[in-house]
Amino acid sequence: MIRTRFAPSPTGYLHVGGARTALFNWLYARKHGAEGKFILRVEDTDDERNTEEAFAAIFEGMAWLGLDWDEGPDKGGDYGPYCQSQRKEIYDRYFEKLVEAGRVYEDEGAWRFRFKREPITVHDEVAGDVTIDYRDTSNTPDMVVKRSNGGYVFHFVNVVDDIEMKITHVIRGDDHLSNTHKHVQLYEAFGVEPPIFAHTPLILNDNGSKMSKRDEGASVRSYIEGGFLPEAVINFLSLLGWSPKIEDEVLPLSEIVERFGFDGINRKSAVFDLDKCRWFNQQYLQQADAAKVLDLILPALESAGIPTDDRDLLISILDLVREKVRLTSELPEWFGYFFGSTATLADDAKAKAFGKEGQLETAAAIVGALESIDATEWDADHIKPALNALAGELGTKMGKLMFPLRVLTTGKAGGPDLMPLIEILGKETTLARAISVLEQAKG
């Protein structure tokens, strides 16, 4: 049986580094199918810093990412409780084992663990063999395991919990690698074989600094609120410090699970690139089921004042505009092109479409050509020939009429593909917009 765990502290939001650690543990457990279990354990012994909001943020972020756990505070399991604040009796029992073995002593009210004074080598699946010489007492003083107030330190409870919960693989950031030698000595004192360790590279900003809570993209909530799809974020996070050893980057989760292994984890620190995450999101957004995406953005569409009663129309619009965006949060603005009988003429579009001599007359001629098309024949197959005929009369090419037509239709210099937009708007709305824009251009 393979048992991995993620053990966050509820002292703030779920950090992207923590989410990556959770993901690697989840992937390794899921890779082993029915033989793999992923445990969520909450290290909530810091009463001064723990908050209910932070506790909820952990569950929210994990659930949004799809990192389901087999055992945890909300699900229970055979090795609970899964909150450290509820495990004091277990810690007391293990502490007595150290007392009986003569491995702890009191020092000014606190209790210190007596290290063995010899070189300690830890084998890590990523870093290889790492040795710390415990004969140098100045560099490796005996560590406090129980404070003078009776509380236990992280190193002690972490090891006890991993023993009690039968954790077989500890996958965590390599800032914990130097602590592992302390943990190995505790395992030895308890007469327990240590788990297999794999320390993952830290996530750094592009300037080489360690990613902090204040950095953009550090909070999982920022992805939830920022228009990202969880599948895209998972794909992005999986490649922060791990390589599938193939050229493809956009990988379905099933393939990531299948390919994941310690041999693909890099020793070098991973560089965080939020723009690359947006790129991943764009790839997933193009492939995502339209109905699912529409459900995600309906509240935002309603907030933007866009009618949402015609679901088929909204899906048609979504399929037209999704290639233009990277985030779902950008979609409502594009939907806005398809609703409303007037358009506001932007200054840059006005200058480019109507600023030269003769351009206003051309725009008026375009409006006339559109008016000549029967409303029952309002589609590209009839609109294009009418524009082509007008171009012939004006001694130009039809392509030269498309930009002024776009500005007449939208008031802007850019936007969705023009013919599908005009078809969806219909004759009445298209002409109403064009006439309003033309009046603004003359003003």
- CATH superfamily of domain region 2-204: HUPs (3.40.50.620)
Q: 182-210 as b/e, with b when 16 or more CB fall inside 10 Å? A: bbbbbeebeeeebbbbbbbbbbbbeeeee
Q: What is the mean pLDDT of each run of 10 residues along the chain (443 residues)?
A: 95 91 98 98 83 89 97 96 96 98 96 98 97 94 96 96 98 95 98 98 88 83 96 98 95 97 95 96 97 96 96 97 96 96 95 94 96 96 96 95 97 96 97 96 86
| Residues in the annotated binding site for ATP | 213
Note the pLDDT of residue 48: 72
In whole angstroms, give the CA distance from residue 27 to residue 6: 12
Note the pLDDT of residue 208: 83
Task: Enter the pTM of the model.
Answer: 0.92
Note the pLDDT of residue 152: 96
Per-domain boundaries in the chain: 2-204, 289-335, 347-442
Note the pLDDT of residue 90: 98
| Residues in the annotated binding site | 213
Q: How far is CA 149 from CA 93, 146, 203, 416, in A?
A: 17, 8, 35, 66
Tell me which CATH code domain 347-442 carries: 1.10.10.350
Note the pLDDT of residue 46: 76
In whole angstroms, give the CA distance from residue 19 to residue 171: 12
In whole angstroms, give the CA distance from residue 109 to residue 13: 34
Note the pLDDT of residue 54: 84
Question: What does DSSP say about strands 143-146 and 104-107: parallel, antiparallel, or unpaired?
Answer: unpaired
Q: What long-range pairs does 33-38 form, CB within 8 A, spacing at least 24? A: 35/1, 35/2, 36/1, 36/2, 36/3, 36/4, 37/1, 37/2, 37/3, 37/4, 37/70, 37/71, 38/4, 38/5, 38/6, 38/67, 38/68, 38/69, 38/70
Residue 128 parent element (H or E): strand 128-133
Note the pLDDT of residue 269: 93
| Token code pair at residue 321 | 């505009």
